[in-house]
Structure 1
Amino acid sequence: MKNLKNYILSAAVLVGFMSCSSDDNDAVANNVTLEFTNTFNNTTIVLGDATSADATENTSEMGQVHHFSELKYVVSNIRLIKADGTEIPYNVNDLDNGATVINQANTETLSYVLSDIPVGDYTEIKFGLGVKSDLNDLDQVSFPEFYDNAGSNETQMHWEWGTGYRFTKIEGFYDTDNKELSFHSGSTLEGEEGNYTQGVDAYRDITLSLPTTATVGNSAPTIAINANFDYLLSGENYTITLVTTEDITNNATPSAHTATEMMKFVENIGGNGTTDTTGMFSITSVEN
């Protein structure tokens, strides 16, 4: 009887092991969802006009009170990194299927699904803030969906005067008298049509380590990404005081904008590309 019990127990363990092994072997490519939350430090941003009582206010390191009425940015060139260092690119050369506009006014855009990600354990994510230079030419023929999305009345991420996309578009108000704040970022070109060269490169590559391994296969992980817009004025690279157009240093108003001043804001929110590759972004959680 004892031997019979041992046999039954062994058989049960074997069946259980085979079942687990079968489940593991049956794992297939699955989705990974990126969920973006835009905050001032730990407070989710609520947009509002100049006199809004509901808009989320922030105070910069230099003591300037400000809030936003519009907040949009482009995410592209997404790559997931496995535990062994293998990099899995996600439609990195296809803006229609591998890029999106995050729009705080449209909650549907805050969640972006990556489909058919290979089975594996992922410990890191990389993505671009903006569009890399070889794709940044408003190509309506190659990428009609992204072109239409970025150029829609709701989004307005085309430069009216240029050949590329806006990477970031922020409108709002600052100081107690609600002066207008307007920050638009994007790469620039130099030269003449047919003979352009790269000017200022405002594209930034973001690299973030995951606090918990994202396991793709039988589960479809959700990676929660926080963008802390306190960094716009109070970043790792620059502490900025907004001023009027009489002095364009650190300017972010509608009537004056220079590439040099723009890059201070770009490096605050997107990093400097060398010692700072996170900018305003961080991972808050991974749910498998």
Structure 2
Amino acid sequence: MKLLHLIKISIVSVFLFGFVSCDIISEPSDNQTLALLALALPQSVNLEFEALVNGQKITSGTNTLSDSRSVQFRDFRLYISEVKFVRADGSTADVSLSTDNVWQANGVSLVDLETYRTTETNIKVNGSVPIGSYTGIQFTVGVPAALNHLNSTNQSSPLNIGSMYWSWTGGYKHANIEFSYNGTDWTSLHLGSTTCSGAPNYGNCSKKFRAIILLSGQVNVSNQKISLDVDKLLTGHTYGAMGMCMPGTGAPCDSLVQAFGMNISNGAMDSSITQRFFSLR
């Protein structure tokens, strides 16, 4: 991808040089046009997601949290969509996600960070964005509302995975994280849209529970790591009677939903709740 990108830039640069050199007197408008053409060139996007426990990548066995608790995982998957890079003035540039019909399709990518439920993992989100200087990144954890109630049995991967589909009234599981502190009692955090109506497709969900994550800082478009801090996700959570954690199920699940920065009552992002799960690395 990087080689192809360099070749594209070289070809266009030669063309632009020739165009300018043949015009002895270049009008200001011509220079502006050439500048816009250069800015329109896409550059490759390569995001790499990693889940960390006490600063270390999660393993398939026992992991030790910073508070000395042990934790194991049997699922750690998230849908990522609506990726944008943020400029210094606050404007954004949309990332066009590539399509492989395995991990990415229809502008949606599936990040899979463990191997208990699946034999393969995927830490990459790939695509392209216009060349520019960016000071942040924004993405959504979840499937876009327009795609959330598709028939998963006839979709391209990764939207055809039955274990990532919640129900016909809720659509996909935007995030599916299952963990245990003792290897016996499992907590399943399933984030998905709720309070959906409009049979038979149930596309009108008043509580979307799609986390919009904004991370500020110097970003490397072609090679940027994004960390998921498990210690911060599990802050304030202890295993209780509620092993199935879905939005609206109450304590001890509420703290898990709030780690994404979402309001547990209406399923929207809440400016009074700082998401604590994701960070640039």
TM-score (norm 2): 0.69
Q: Aligned ranges for residues 31-42 of structure 1 at < 5 Å? A: 31-42=44-55
Q: Deviations over 1:2-32 (max 9, x none)?
A: xxxxxxxxxxxxxxxxx9x96x976732101
With CA pairs under 8 Å and 6+ residues apart, which has the higher RCO, 1 or 2?
Answer: 1
Q: Kindly tell me: are residues 277 and 74 of structure 1, through their superposed partners in 2, closer, same or farther at Cα, counting changes over 3 Å? A: farther
CA distance in 2: counterparts of 1:195 and 1:161, whole angstroms: 7
| Percentage of pairs with the same residue | 24
Unaligned runs of 5+ in 1: 1-18, 49-54, 215-219, 245-250
Q: Kindly tell me: are residues 83 and 184 of structure 1, through their superposed partners in 2, closer, same or farther at Cα, counting changes over 3 Å? A: same
Confirm or deny: 8 A CA contact 2:86 2:135 kept in the other structure. Answer: yes
The structural deviation recorded for 1:221 is 2.2
Confirm or deny: 8 A CA contact 1:225 1:282 kept in the other structure. Answer: yes
CA distance in 2: counterparts of 1:258 and 1:83, whole angstroms: 34
2:145 matched to which residue of 1? 133
Residue 82 (1) aligns with residue 87 (2): yes
User: Between Structure 1 and Structure 2, how many residues are aligned?
Assistant: 231
Q: Deviations over 1:28-53 (max 9, x none)?
A: 321011011111231111123xxxxx
CA distance in 1: counterparts of 2:275 and 2:133, whole angstroms: 22
Residue 232 (1) aligns with residue 233 (2): yes
Confirm or deny: 8 A CA contact 2:195 2:205 kept in the other structure. Answer: yes
Q: Kindly tell me: are residues 78 and 213 of structure 1, through their superposed partners in 2, closer, same or farther at Cα, counting changes over 3 Å? A: closer
**3-state SS of 2:231 partner:** helix
Confirm or deny: 8 A CA contact 1:59 1:66 kept in the other structure. Answer: no
Q: Deviations over 1:159-209 (max 9, x none)?
A: 14534100111223224x632222211111345625954243211100001
Confirm or deny: 8 A CA contact 1:200 1:259 kept in the other structure. Answer: no
**3-state SS of 2:134 partner:** strand
Confirm or deny: 8 A CA contact 2:114 2:121 kept in the other structure. Answer: no
Unaligned runs of 5+ in 2: 1-13, 18-33, 264-268
CA distance in 1: counterparts of 2:248 and 2:147, whole angstroms: 20
TM-score (norm 1): 0.67
The structural deviation recorded for 1:231 is 2.4
Q: Deviations over 1:206-234 (max 9, x none)?
A: 00012x254xxxxx621111011222221
Confirm or deny: 8 A CA contact 1:80 1:87 kept in the other structure. Answer: yes
The counterpart of 1:104, out of the listed 99, 113, 125, is 113
The structural deviation recorded for 1:264 is 3.5
CA distance in 1: counterparts of 2:114 and 2:214, whole angstroms: 26
Q: Which runs of 4+ in 1 moved over 6 A?
A: 24-27
